[in-house]
Amino acid sequence: MELFKIIENVATELLKLAVTKLPDSIEKALLKALEEVQSDVAKTQLQTIVENFTAAKTSLLPMCQDTGVVSFFVKVGEQFPIIAELTEILRNATIKATQSVPLRPNAVDLFKGNTGNNVADYIPWIYWEIVPNNNVLELIAFPKGGGSTNISKLGLLKPGEGLKGIKKFIVDSVVDAGAKGCPPYFLGIGIGGGEDIAMNLAKKSLLRPVGEHSKIPKIAELEKELLEALNELRIGVMGLGEGPTVLSVHIEVAGRHPASLPIGIVFSCWADRHAGARIDSEGNITYLSF
């Protein structure tokens, strides 16, 4: 098969995988939450969640009707033979997956309304990374639902507010989110860089498997400290006041302007959906685990 076709098929498959099968570490986190939960209210909700994602996995149907706005993380080696055409290939794969999975048409043009095929100006969005001296393509499909997108936040703090300001912004954002984005949440946080970079890092941090902490010891500590404290808010599963509120906190940090302290928070609902694969120049495919 031509490499073009292989990439298109893999991208279509990744969208299907993402919406029908949760990453292993996310599934494990939800099962552990169900095992540990004491309250009956939270247990019923978590049981419903687990039954639902299990049904999705076996029936190969989307676990949630909101199959998200489609984005892809693309990491491509400079020696990989197909680069310029990737955007077109990923747009075609998205149209195909919309039909075959099926995905809900979720791309809305400001003036023309729903495009009906999940493709629109800039959508699917592609996060590009070019890798020198390399000939492999890494693709990650990351469809993101509207509920948890609507509660995500950007804070442009004063540098003098420091770590306390950062922590306060995170606590207040989770309080604001409340029940609206389908907790228990997975939190992606980006600190520093700039207004767009902080949000970008926040989203990217969600690709790190749950249970894996930042390699920077102080940040790893902060992740653990926040996870424990945020659960004391007791928003609870589905916002019903009982059981876990947040299952994981991921933080990425970038250098910043001396006058700026940006912080981005990307919430994921319990259905933190993504799937990835590597394709080499010969068309050999390896699926990634998260």
Partner 1 sequence: MGEFRLTTPIIEDAVSRLKVGDTLFISGTIITARDEAHLKALELHNEGKLLPVNFEGIGVFHCGPVMKKNDAGEWTVVAAGPTTSARMEIFEDEFIKAFHPRIIIGKGGMGTRTTKACQEEACVYGAFTGGAALLAANRITKVKDVFWLEELGMPECLWVCEVKDFGPLVVAIDSHGNNLFLQINEHVKANVTKVYKQLNII
Q: Which residues bind partner 1 (CB under 8 A)?
A: 41, 44-45, 48-49, 51-52, 55-56, 59, 61-67, 102-106, 113-114, 116, 145-147, 150, 164, 167-168, 171, 175, 178-182, 225-226, 228-230, 232-236, 238-241, 269-271
Residue 67: both structure tokens together:
């199959």
Nearer to partner 1, 5 or 168 (CB): 168
Q: How far is the CB of 228 from partner 1 (least distance, A)?
A: 8
Nearer to partner 1, 137 or 187 (CB): 187
Cα angle: 185, vertex 189, 192; to 5 degrees? 170
Q: Which is nearer to partner 1, 138 or 272 (CB)?
A: 272
Residue with smaller CB distance to partner 1, 206 or 226: 226
CB atoms within 10 A of CB 100: 12
Please tell me the distance from the alpha carbon of residue 114 to that of residue 57, in angstroms, as a whole number.
28
Smallest gap from Cβ 18 to partner 1, in A, equals 14
| Residue 108 structure tokens | 């809305």
For residues 161 and 145, what is the distance between their CA atoms, to the nearest angstrom?
32
Closest approach, Cβ 157 to partner 1, in A, equals 13
CA distance 12 to 280: 17
**Minimal distance, residue 106 CB to partner 1, in Å:** 7
CA 283 to CA 169: how far, in whole Å?
45
Count CA within 13 A, CB hemisphere, residue 118: 29
Q: How far is the CB of 245 from partner 1 (least distance, A)?
A: 9
Q: Which is nearer to partner 1, 88 or 221 (CB)?
A: 221
